[in-house]
């Protein structure tokens, strides 16, 4: 009887252990994420990353437009008086804007990206969305990666502008100013100007190209010399035809006597008369680059090779070989600024989100200006031959990368994984 009871108890105990084991196994299986849960988590992380990138691009775009307009306006207004005096037309102004735009973009893209990124994080924090991202398990790596992707895209765009576009834009702008100066030299108030077979004198000229008191002496035809007088005139330039057109009003044309008819003198009066002046001899000059920022990398390398051989670089405006070496490294190092700003800006913005409202924006801009200030300082040291050109241009990137890595490691727990 006792043996039977003991066996029954052992059977019941074994049954209870088996049920507990099966329950534990089922519990572990329920807690273990399957492939569907992993894919769902990846989709959520990707959706949140796209959302953060979209918000950042919105603010970057608005900031980019503002900074670009400010830089364009500043550069155009600074040169406006010179351009107008040189005889600028509407087409010339549009060409000048297109030339200045790539130059301004090289500086606008990194700053616009940094400010847009800081504003986006501030907006996410102020609306409580940053807290929701934390609650959903949006980890630091995933959060930072969204900004690093945008920074990488901005870096690629900056590298293309600095390496392939900016130097050509600078060259075209110099050529445009030189050509306008050549055209404008044809007509200057109070002075006689000679353009081949024509001599031109005007008493006054305003910025719109309106002339007053016009006198033209034309000897383009040996057998027919003309003296043209007009009360007013309006200049217009035809760049493709390489000529200047003057619409004269209220004047006279005097034809000098011919050698075979010395007593014959002709005079014709007109209300309006279109007179054209050929400018091909002034506009045919080919302008080569004379400064490092106007040259391609291959042209700069050729200049450095000449300098190493002892060439004095007489035809160039800049004769210091260090300027050309600095320009090469500038085009290679400066495009990394947006990527470095992403590494610096995100930790700074997250660390200051619960403090003063504008602290993150202020600290982020301070970091950016410190980066550019360090670059200017090291560049001055390189020009004084205290450090090498490569060290001067890459040192700010190294310092910014170390600071960004330190900030990322220090603030990695602010967004829990």
pLDDT over threshold 60, residue 287? no
Residue holding tokens 């002034």?
A: 282
How confident is the model at residue 333, as a pLDDT?
Answer: 92
Q: Which helix (H) or strand (E) holds 248?
A: strand 243-255
Distances in Å between the Cα of 142 and the Cα atoms of 133, 137, 149, 264 are 11, 10, 11, 93
In sequence order, the 6+-apart residues with CB closer than 8 A to the CB of 83 are 92, 93, 96, 177, 180
How confident is the model at residue 401, as a pLDDT?
Answer: 93
Q: How far apart, in whole angstroms, are the C-alpha atoms of residue 222 and residue 226?
A: 10
Taking each helix axis from N to C end, the angle separating 35-85 and 166-184, rounded to the nearest 10 degrees, works out to: 20
pLDDT tens-digit readout, 242-256 = 677 888 899 998 888
Q: Which residues pair with 228 in a beta bridge?
A: 216, 253
Residue-wise over 315-342: b if at least 16 C-beta within 10 A, else e?
Answer: ebebeebbbbbbbbbbbbbbbbbbbbbb
DSSP 3-state assignment of 151? helix
CA 270 to chain centroid, in Å, comes to: 51
pLDDT over threshold 60, residue 382? yes
8 A C-beta contact, residue 393 and residue 111: no
Choice between 313 and 28, residue whose per-residue pLDDT is larger: 313
Backbone torsion region of residue 385, taken as left when φ is above 0, otherwise alpha when ψ lies between -120 and 50, otherwise beta: left
pLDDT tens-digit readout, 315-360 = 777 788 888 899 999 999 999 999 999 888 888 877 766 655 677 7
Q: Name the burial class of residue 392, with classes exposed (0-12), middle (13-18) and buried (19+) by CB atoms within 10 angstroms of its CB.
A: buried
pLDDT tens-digit readout, 387-415 = 989 999 999 999 999 998 888 887 665 54
Over range 142-151, report the average pLDDT. Answer: 80
Encoding tokens for residue 89?
């037309």
């Amino acid at each position: 009887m006792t043996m039977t009871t003991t066996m029954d108890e052992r059977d019941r105990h074994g049954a209870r252990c088996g049920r507990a084991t099966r329950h534990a196994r089922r519990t572990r299986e329920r807690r273990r994420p399957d492939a569907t849960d992993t894919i769902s988590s990846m989709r959520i992380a990707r959706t949140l990353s796209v959302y953060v990138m979209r918000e950042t691009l919105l603010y970057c775009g608005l900031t980019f437009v503002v900074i670009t307009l400010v830089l364009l306006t500043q550069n155009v207004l600074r040169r406006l008086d010179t351009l107008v005096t040189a005889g600028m037309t509407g087409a010339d102004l549009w060409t000048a804007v297109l030339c200045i735009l790539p130059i301004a973009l090289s500086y606008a893209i990194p700053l616009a990206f940094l400010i847009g990124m800081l504003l986006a994080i501030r907006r996410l924090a102020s609306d409580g969305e940053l807290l929701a991202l934390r609650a959903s398990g949006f980890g630091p790596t995933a959060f930072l990666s969204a900004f690093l992707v945008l920074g990488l895209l901005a870096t690629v765009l900056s590298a293309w502008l600095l390496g392939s576009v900016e130097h050509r834009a600078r060259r075209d702008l110099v050529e445009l100013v030189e050509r306008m100066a050549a055209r404008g030299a044809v007509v200057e108030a109070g002075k006689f100007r000679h353009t081949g077979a024509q001599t031109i004198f005007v008493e006054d000229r305003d910025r719109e190209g309106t002339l007053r008191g016009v006198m033209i002496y034309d000897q383009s035809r040996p057998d027919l010399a003309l003296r043209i007088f007009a009360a007013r005139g309006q200049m217009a330039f035809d760049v493709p035809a390489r000529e200047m057109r003057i619409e004269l009003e209220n004047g006279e044309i005097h034809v000098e006597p011919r050698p075979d008819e010395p007593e014959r003198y002709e005079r014709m009066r007109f209300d309006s008369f279109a007179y054209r002046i050929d400018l091909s001899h002034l506009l045919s000059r080919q302008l080569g680059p004379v400064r490092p920022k106007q040259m391609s990398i291959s042209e700069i390398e050729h200049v450095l090779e000449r300098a190493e051989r002892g060439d004095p670089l007489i035809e160039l405006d800049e004769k210091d070989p260090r300027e050309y070496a600095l320009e090469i490294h500038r085009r290679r190092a400066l495009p990394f600024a947006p990527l470095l700003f992403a590494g610096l800006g995100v930790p700074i913005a997250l660390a200051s989100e619960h403090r003063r409202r504008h602290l993150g924006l202020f600290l982020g801009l301070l970091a950016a200006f410190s980066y550019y200030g360090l670059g200017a300082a090291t560049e001055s040291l390189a020009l004084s031959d205290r450090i090498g050109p490569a060290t001067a241009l890459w040192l700010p990137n190294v310092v910014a990368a170390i600071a960004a890595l330190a900030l990322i490691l220090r603030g990695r727990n602010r967004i829990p994984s």
